């Protein structure tokens, strides 16, 4: 079967066959093309423009009968005029194939309905093209039965006279959609019966089908935006608001139909032991829906590692090893485990695609007044369900909020303005792990926006979030709660308040010590942010952070090691921090990280850390460093090969060491140790 090429939706890039093509090649191609089109003739695939679609399919079926008879007759020497007509038919049939493919595409029904003028115009052009080609086809010169010739004549006449117009049902649905959008524009809730009539006409019976429509519209929106074609953006934005409102309000329960796969029970039970952290991409920290292995043996999600490699990085993000090849090998075992895990936990998972997934991201303004109204009404509905609904209603509402707030800043602002934060904080103490997990995720999304940070702080949410880190039901909830603290720590006032809560820092340190990868990561960045406020320094030290950080310098994950060095650098800025670091015998480990690290920023942090230890602890540390030839080699290398900041820091540390040890403990560096380079330290 011929695969359709990648193309923009509702574009019809047909290829005109070569005029020199022989009939014995052209006729089989026409027959194959007709058969492919007829394979899509199931009427259920086409709830929109069904009559026109069926007419097109009927005409293709009649053409197939004619082509097969011509082919079976041996077709002899077809005149050139007949070949030209067949070429025109081939061109028109290609476009009809594209049209039928798009009209039957999953998730595209709403967009097909609202682009009816374009769709019907294309059908009209192609059907009339068939009529034109058949009119001039020299039937007398073709060796087929009289019945076949009469069939062609009738088909030509019907192709000219058939009405290709908008059906009454489609027209009513379009007018209903426009009426609903006008109500959204005025800030009104539409009649749910009107919405249900539109959904029934589109054959959208459940939550997941509605979500498919929404995802398709978002992808179309970004296609137009990326191409600089903003003419359709307001309409697409309005339709996204319409379908999102329907998903939130009309469907009382969620179904994850796309994740339903018939798996043997024995296979499902085999994942009971599985740690979900192992299924997350080390780069994006999301489930690996398209896992691939790199040459180091590590597995990543395809989109994340491709972006990593494209940015110029040629090392493995986890091991730091040089990638000898950029080839990506699908990891089918991990893919299977991800599918089983998602099925067991009712997590929606999309099929991997070579086309990067795009989302409505970082939009602070709505795409249209109707879109804004729809989102605000949907948010109002969700807040009502969270505050007054039963358990199932609350579960669905909070999950919808999580989806709504994932990446769109306007959606986040709407949620904050609807005063949802106090209710989210209230349900953090729920005994339902699903509610708690999703509520924390919503708070995390809202904390990425300044208004969300303010709402969480002013609602007294910091203590409740810390409780989730400590007592949360799920690992993911604890990790997300730590990430909320990180975003709150970007504001000085909030940093100070977090530090003033008695168990805040110690809870983060505990997560740093005992948590899994993502938990350690979020705890580390939160502690680093807290250290931006000087009053938090002694609290971090007294909470026992230093021994934990020093132990993490031997962690297998290089990014955790680099984060630990950066935090230790901040701690070493003060005397009490330096004292604690020296007590933990950290110097040799820091020097080891400096020598093994492939990260420029990590090397800078190591040098800065050692410099602070020297300046705050005095001669003892300087003397110890002066006796480490491996350190001296690394410092000289940074002077010549490092960034401007790294060179400055390396020179400063070298000056300290030389000034202290030059006369009493002279250090001789062999030329071979610095690769035969002559170094002049300024």
> pLDDT by residue (tens digit) across 598-636?
788 888 888 888 888 888 887 788 888 878 888 888 888
Q: 498 with 462: CB under 8 angstroms?
A: yes
Q: Which helix (H) or strand (E) holds 329?
A: strand 329-330
Report the pLDDT value the prediction gives residue 679, as an integer from 0 to 100: 36
Nearest to 428 by CA among 465, 459, 395: 465
Give dist(CA 100, CA 91) in Å, integer: 15
Give the strands of the sheet with 329-330, arranged side by side: 299-301, 291-293, 329-330
In this prediction, residue 262 has a pLDDT band, given cuts at 50, 70 and 90, of very low
pLDDT > 90 in the chain, percent: 54
Query: What pLDDT score does 42 carry?
Result: 56
Q: Compute the distance between CA of residue 118 and CA of residue 6 in angstroms, rounded to an integer.
A: 20
Contact between 214 and 240 (Cβ < 8 Å): yes
pLDDT of residue 544: 94
Q: Assign 347 a pLDDT band (cuts: 50, 70, 90).
A: low
| Angle (nearest 5°) at CA 409 between 361 and 456 | 135
Mean pLDDT of the region 357-369: 64
Mean pLDDT of 415-438: 95
571-585 pLDDT, tens digit each: 999 999 999 999 998
pLDDT at 155: 93
Asked whether the whole model's pTM tops 0.85, one would answer no
The pair of three-digit structure tokens given for residue 195, joined into one six-digit string: 């919405």
Nearest alpha carbon to residue 565 among 519, 613, 608, 624: 608
Does residue 176 surpass a pLDDT of 90?
yes
- pLDDT given at position 333: 67
Contact 646, 597 (CB under 8 A): no
In SS3 terms, 627-655 reads as CCHHHHHHHHHHHHHCCHHHHHHHHHHHH
For 476-482, what is the mean pLDDT? 94
Instruction: Tell me the mean pLDDT in the region 370-389.
Output: 95
425: confidence class by pLDDT, cuts 50, 70, 90: very high
pLDDT score recorded for residue 354: 41
3-class secondary-structure state, position 476: helix
The overall average pLDDT reported for the chain is 85
Q: What is the pLDDT of residue 281?
A: 85
Per-residue pLDDT at 122 exceeds 80:
yes
Question: Using one digit for the tens of pLDDT, what is the confidence trace for 527-566?
Answer: 999 999 999 999 999 999 999 999 999 888 888 999 999 9
d(CA 631, CA 337): 44
Say how many C-beta atoms besides its own lie within 10 A of residue 266's C-beta. 7
């Amino acid at each position: 079967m011929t695969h359709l090429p990648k193309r923009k939706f509702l574009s019809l890039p047909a290829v005109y066959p070569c005029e020199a093509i022989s009939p014995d090649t052209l006729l089989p191609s026409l027959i194959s093309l007709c058969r492919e089109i007829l394979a899509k003739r199931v009427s259920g695939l086409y709830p929109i423009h069904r009559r026109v679609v069926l007419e097109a399919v009927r005409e293709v079926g009649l053409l197939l009968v004619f082509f097969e008879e011509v082919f079976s007759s041996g077709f002899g020497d077809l005149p050139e005029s007949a070949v030209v007509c067949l070429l025109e038919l081939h061109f028109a049939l290609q476009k009809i194939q594209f049209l039928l493919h798009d009209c039957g595409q999953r998730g595209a029904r709403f967009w097909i309905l609202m682009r009816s003028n374009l769709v019907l115009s294309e059908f009209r052009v192609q059907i009339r093209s068939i009529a034109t080609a058949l009119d001039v086809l020299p039937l007398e010169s073709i060796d087929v039965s009289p019945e076949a010739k009469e069939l062609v004549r009738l088909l030509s006449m019907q192709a000219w006279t058939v009405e290709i117009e908008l059906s009454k049902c489609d027209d009513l649905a379009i007018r209903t959609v426009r009426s609903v959008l006008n109500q959204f524009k005025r800030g009104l809730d539409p009649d749910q019966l009107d919405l249900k009539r539109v959904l029934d006409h589109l054959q959208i019976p459940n939550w997941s089908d509605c979500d498919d429509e929404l995802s398709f519209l978002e992808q179309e929106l970004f296609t137009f935006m990326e191409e600089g074609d903003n003419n359709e953006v307001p309409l697409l934005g309005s339709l996204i608001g319409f379908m999102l409102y329907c998903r939130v309000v009309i469907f009382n329960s969620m179904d994850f139909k796309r994740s339903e796969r018939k798996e043997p029970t024995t296979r499902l039970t085999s994942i009971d032991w599985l740690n979900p952290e192992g299924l997350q991409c080390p780069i994006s920290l999301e489930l690996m829906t398209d896992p691939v292995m790199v040459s180091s043996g590590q597995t990543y999600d395809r989109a994340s590692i491709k972006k990593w490699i494209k940015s110029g990085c040629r090392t493995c993000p986890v091991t730091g090893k040089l990638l000898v090849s950029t080839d990506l090998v699908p990891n089918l075992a991990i893919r299977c485990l991800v599918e089983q895990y998602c099925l067991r936990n009712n997590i929606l998972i999309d099929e991997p695609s070579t086309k990067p997934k795009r989302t409505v991201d970082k939009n602070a303004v709505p795409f249209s007044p109707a879109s804004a109204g729809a989102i605000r009404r949907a948010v109002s509905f969700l807040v009502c369900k969270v505050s007054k609904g039963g358990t199932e209603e609350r579960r669905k509402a909070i999950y919808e909020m999580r989806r709504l707030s994932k990446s769109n800043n306007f959606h986040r602002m709407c949620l904050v303005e609807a005063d949802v934060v106090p209710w989210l904080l209230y349900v953090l103490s729920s005994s339902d792990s699903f509610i708690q997990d999703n509520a924390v995720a919503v708070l995390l999304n809202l904390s990425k926006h300044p208004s969300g940070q303010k709402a969480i702080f002013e609602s007294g949410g910091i203590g409740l979030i810390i409780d989730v880190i400590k007592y949360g039901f799920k690992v993911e909830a604890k990790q997300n709660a730590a990430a909320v603290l990180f975003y709150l720590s970007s504001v000085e006032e909030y940093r100070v308040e977090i530090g003033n809560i008695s168990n805040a820092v110690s809870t983060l340190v505990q997560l740093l010590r005992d948590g899994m990868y993502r938990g350690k990561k979020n705890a580390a960045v939160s502690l680093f942010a807290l250290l931006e406020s000087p009053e938090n320094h002694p609290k971090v030290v007294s909470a026992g952070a230093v021994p934990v950080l020093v132990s993490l310098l031997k962690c297998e994950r290089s990014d955790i090691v680099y984060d630990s060095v950066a935090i230790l650098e901040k701690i070493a800025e003060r005397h009490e921090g330096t004292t604690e670091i020296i007590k933990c015998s950290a110097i040799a480990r820091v020097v080891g990280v400096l020598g093994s690290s492939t990260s420029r920023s990590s090397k800078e942090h190591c040098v800065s850390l050692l410099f602070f230890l020297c300046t705050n602890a005095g001669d003892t540390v300087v003397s110890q460093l002066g006796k480490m030839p491996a350190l001296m080699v690394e410092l000289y290398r940074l002077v010549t090969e490092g960034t401007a900041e790294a060179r400055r820091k390396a020179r400063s540390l070298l000056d300290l060491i030389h000034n202290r040890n030059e006369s009493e403990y002279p250090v001789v560096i062999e030329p071979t140790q610095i690769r035969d380079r002559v170094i002049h330290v300024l």
